Amino acid sequence: YRPEFWWFEIYECFRRLSFTGMLVVFEPGSPPQLCFSMILALLSSLMYEHNQPFEKTEENTLAQISSVSIFLTLLAGILITLKEHLDEEYNEKLGALLVIINTLVFAMVGASILFKPIFKLITKFNEKHVHDAPLKGMGPDVAYSVALFIDHFKRLAESDTNEAGWKPLDVK
């Protein structure tokens, strides 16, 4: 958690206790129990969205998606309790939707793990630089001559960082 959200673990314990302990006052599997659970899941999702308590953006996003997944699963639970009003084809589609919703959380974690290094590399390439060293940037004479361009590129590729002189800019 970010330092200013030191208290969020207390909220998290209360949230988990609410999903388990407070629901015993309702009949198991009843629509009121499912509705109360949906309200808790919605409030939880709003709490994560409003506060963004985690240091990493990916963790905040994962917490929000998990809360929405719980909400949608409970919504499907309410629809299943109405099964006498639904046909068999609808129940199959609802089952497939539940699998997709709950798999989305795992897909999010997998995508985060896979794409994080790629985004880091792209960010590194997008940094602005200044060139201030013996091998200066190309002048007009080099830019219009293929032979001079190739020679300049070879010297630049073979140079070390001090000789090439690429330094990050402090752009604010």
pLDDT of residue 134: 47
What SS3 class is residue 121? helix
Ranges of the chain whose pLDDT falls below 70: 83-87, 124-144, 159-172
pLDDT of residue 94: 74
pLDDT of residue 103: 83
Concatenate the DSSP letters of all residues of 27-66 into one string: PTT-HHHHHHHHHHHHHHHHHHHHH--SSSHHHHHHHHHH
DSSP 21: T
Q: Which residues contact 91 (CB under 8 A, 6 or more apart)?
A: 80, 83
Provide the Cα torsion 107, 10, 28, 49; round to 10°: -40
What SS3 class is residue 14? helix
What does the pLDDT look like over 4-44, one tens digit per residue?
988 989 999 998 888 888 888 888 877 788 888 888 888 88
Q: Which amino acid is at 56?
A: K
pTM exceeds cut of 0.75: no
- Cα(82)–Cα(103) distance, rounded to whole angstroms? 24
Cβ atoms of 109 and 62 closer than 8 Å = yes
